[in-house]
């Protein structure tokens, strides 16, 4: 019997790029000898309902196609079902948005939806770790400082689309930003300090390829924590381009840690996970090892 794949698509992702790529993606999946059903969602609530129904129906594969919001939806719907013991469905991720950081973090080409479909068709999967914040699961990175404020500002900007919007949001936020007061509990060790940001990574990047936790590994059972200690605005601006290569970590103002759990507290702090608002501090973030089977490139 061929595998059953339920593909939930955000047709507006990537300014309509998802819909343009869908015929080739569908063809690649069907060439793998699967039984494919395609569902086009009109909004988040409908996509979530479609994903939950797919898992409830017991399909072999739930595939989500779109931007980071769809990846976050797929991860949370699937992880909730898996960790309650009620699912045998494997998650497939097909990037068609502008960021695609979770896809990047598990070895998929973030710009190649068809190649991601071929990975699903090939059928190789592995259970990845996730970060859990309350009832929410984060596949990539949780931002809690300057980066979270930039994320919030970028989400409110109607134009431009893609990573350019994030860069503009950085410039706008930088003009009014000052260091934030944190209380961090890192595997039980408490410290109080000021910082520009504290990012907690299950995988390496956010913001469309900014490698804020460059050595994060979604299979090691740990979370990477990057702390940028207080610096001047010009210094932070100079560090920004180096986040794309990860070279910024060589600067003395950057501290990196690995933990199983971190609690982030501080007045006015908010958390964004996978580009989505998670909530206000306090934020308890813990690693859930091998939480979710996901299709990845073999080898």
Are 78 and 150 in the same domain?
A: no
- Chain centroid to Cα 282, Å, comes to 20
Q: How many CB atoms lie within 10 A of CB 9?
A: 25
Mean pLDDT value of segment 258-277: 95
Confidence of residue 98 (pLDDT cuts 50, 70, 90): confident
Establish if 133 belongs to a structural domain: no
Are 152 and 82 in the same domain?
A: no
Are 164 and 274 in the same domain?
A: yes
Confidence of residue 193 (pLDDT cuts 50, 70, 90): very high
Cα gap 71→103, rounded to integer Å? 8
Mean pLDDT value of segment 277-287: 96
Mean pLDDT value of segment 283-297: 97
Are 276 and 166 in the same domain?
A: yes
Establish if 51 belongs to a structural domain: yes
Give the DSSP per-residue string, 113-128.
Answer: HHHHHHHHHHT-EEEE
Which two three-digit tokens encode residue 31? 């060439």
H or E segment to which residue 265 belongs = strand 261-265
Are 161 and 245 in the same domain?
A: yes
Collect all residues with Cβ–Cβ distance below 8 Å to 240 and sequence separation of at least 6: 170
pLDDT digits (tens, 9 = 90+) for 226-257: 999 999 888 888 898 899 999 999 999 999 99
Are 89 and 147 in the same domain?
A: no
pLDDT in the model for residue 217 = 97
Of 202, 183, 172, the closest CA to residue 273 belongs to 202
Name the domain boundary from 123, 150, 171. 123
pLDDT in the model for residue 99 = 82
Domain that holds residue 93: 4-123
**Total structural domains within the chain:** 2
Q: Give the end-to-end CA distance of the chain in Å, rounded to a whole number.
A: 26
Q: How many CB atoms lie within 10 A of CB 99?
A: 25
Tell me the pTM: 0.92
H or E segment to which residue 273 belongs = strand 270-273
Cα gap 278→269, rounded to integer Å? 11
Are 16 and 104 in the same domain?
A: yes
- Secondary structure of residue 78 in the 3-state scheme: helix
The DSSP call for residue 240 is G
Are 114 and 197 in the same domain?
A: no
Collect all residues with Cβ–Cβ distance below 8 Å to 211 and sequence separation of at least 6: 204, 205, 243, 244, 245, 246
Are 73 and 145 in the same domain?
A: no
CA count, 13 A, side-chain hemisphere, 118:
9
pLDDT digits (tens, 9 = 90+) for 103-146: 999 999 999 999 999 999 999 999 999 999 999 999 999 999 88
Are 114 and 229 in the same domain?
A: no
Which two three-digit tokens encode residue 51? 């994903």
CATH number of the domain where residue 44 is located: 3.40.50.10330
Establish if 162 belongs to a structural domain: yes
Confidence of residue 159 (pLDDT cuts 50, 70, 90): low
């Amino acid at each position: 019997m061929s595998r059953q794949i339920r593909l939930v698509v955000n047709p507006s992702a990537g300014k309509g790029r998802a819909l343009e790529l869908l015929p080739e993606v569908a063809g690649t999946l069907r060439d793998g000898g699967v039984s494919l059903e395609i569902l086009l969602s009109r909004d988040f609530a409908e996509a979530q309902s479609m994903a939950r129904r797919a898992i409830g129906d017991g399909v072999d594969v739930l595939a989500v196609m779109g931007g980071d919001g769809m990846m976050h939806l797929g991860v949370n719907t699937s992880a909730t079902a898996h960790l309650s013991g009620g699912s045998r469905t494997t998650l497939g991720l097909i990037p068609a948005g502008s960021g695609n950081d979770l896809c990047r973090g598990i070895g998929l080409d973030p710009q190649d939806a068809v190649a991601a479909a071929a990975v699903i068709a090939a059928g190789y999967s592995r259970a990845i770790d996730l970060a859990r914040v309350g009832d929410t699961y984060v596949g990539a990175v949780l931002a809690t400082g300057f980066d979270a404020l930039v994320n919030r500002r970028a989400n409110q900007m109607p134009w431009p689309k893609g990573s350019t919007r994030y860069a503009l949001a950085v410039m706008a936020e930088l003009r009014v930003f000052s260091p934030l007061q944190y209380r961090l509990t890192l595997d039980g060790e408490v410290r109080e300090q000021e910082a520009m940001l504290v990012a907690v990574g299950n995988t390496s990047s956010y913001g469309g390829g900014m490698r804020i936790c460059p050595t994060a590994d979604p299979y090691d059972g740990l979370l990477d924590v990057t702390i940028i200690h207080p610096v001047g605005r010009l210094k932070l601006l100079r560090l920004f381009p180096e986040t794309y290569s990860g070279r910024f970590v060589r600067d003395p103002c950057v501290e990196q840690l690995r933990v199983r759990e971190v609690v982030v507290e501080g007045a006015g702090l908010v958390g964004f996970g996978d580009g989505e608002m998670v909530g206000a501090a306090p934020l308890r973030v813990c690693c859930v090892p091998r939480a979710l089977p996901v299709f990845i490139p073999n080898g």
